[in-house]
Amino acid sequence: MSGITTEPVGRKVLHENEKLAAGLRRQFAERGVLCLNLISAPGSGKTALLEKTLAALPAGSQVAVLTGDIQTDNDARRLARYGFPVRQITTAGTCHLDAAMVRRELDAFDAGSIDLLLIENVGNLVCPTSYDLGEAAKIVVLSVTEGDDKPLKYPGIFRKSELMILSKIDLLPYVPFDPAAAFANARRVNPQIEVLELSSLTGAGFNEWMRWLERRRSRQ
């Protein structure tokens, strides 16, 4: 026996990611940047939420967006129409963003002109949960077209998220979804999680989201 111990590959990868994320977090704090990491299943409405958010921000707001996707740059092209810096991270099959990907893209932004960085993670409720990106907070987006038991099926992301957004509430009359049950399930997993509901299509509840965002920015 050589006495040499080996670290499992997955644990080593996460350890390296944590070191990079800690460096990013210090960098964001030093520069007064609020970084938010939006995570959801595919099709929950993250991009539509970001579109409406960017459209509502005053011209000259110091905001930038990183958006992750497995193959295309469709989301980045959608978001770039609003006049804010947007960078696409194409993962070529990887089911999450990691801190190294974020660090590489930050050089493309004028860091001194940003006080809010919005990260749209790859659509997935499992893999992105384990990867710290140096964000101040994770936000989980759950649409009413999914099950109201999702917080119990995927507790990791709800446990780590500061805010749960229930999206597509304009569809509630047409789907068997119980918002009260979804919120209760989320709070079973994470009693401190904040919750709000909105529709990016109709604008219902959107003012509450913008107020939450402003409050969170003031805490940075």
Task: Give the pLDDT confidence of 32-61 residue by residue, as tens digits.
Answer: 999 999 999 999 999 999 999 999 998 889
Instruction: Using alpha carbons, select from 198, 162, 193 the residue that is nearest to residue 37.
Output: 162
Torsion over CA: 67, 72, 75, 80 (sign)? positive
Distance CA 77, CA 211 (A): 27
Coil vs helix vs strand at 194: strand
Q: Which domains, from first to last, does the chain contain?
A: 9-219 (3.40.50.300)
- Any idea which of 98-112, 130-144, 157-171, 191-205 has the lowest mean pLDDT? 98-112
Q: Do residues 213 and 179 touch, judged by C-beta distance below 8 A? A: no
Rounded CA-CA distance 34/169 in Å is 27
Closest CA to 187 of 155, 142, 215, 146: 155
Tell me, what's the pLDDT at 94? 87
Which amino acid is located at 11 in the chain?
R
Q: Name the pTM for this structure.
A: 0.92
| Whether the predicted pLDDT of 6 surpasses 80 | no
Tell me what percent of the residues of the chain surpass a pLDDT of 90: 81
Model confidence at 14: pLDDT above 90 = no
Q: Which of 132, 149, 156 is nearest to 140 (CA)?
A: 156
For the cut 70, the answer to whether the pLDDT of residue 2 exceeds it is no
Name the residue among 95, 47, 61 with its Cα closest to residue 213: 61
pLDDT grade, residue 136 (50/70/90)?
very high
Torsion sign (Cα): 61, 163, 127, 180: negative
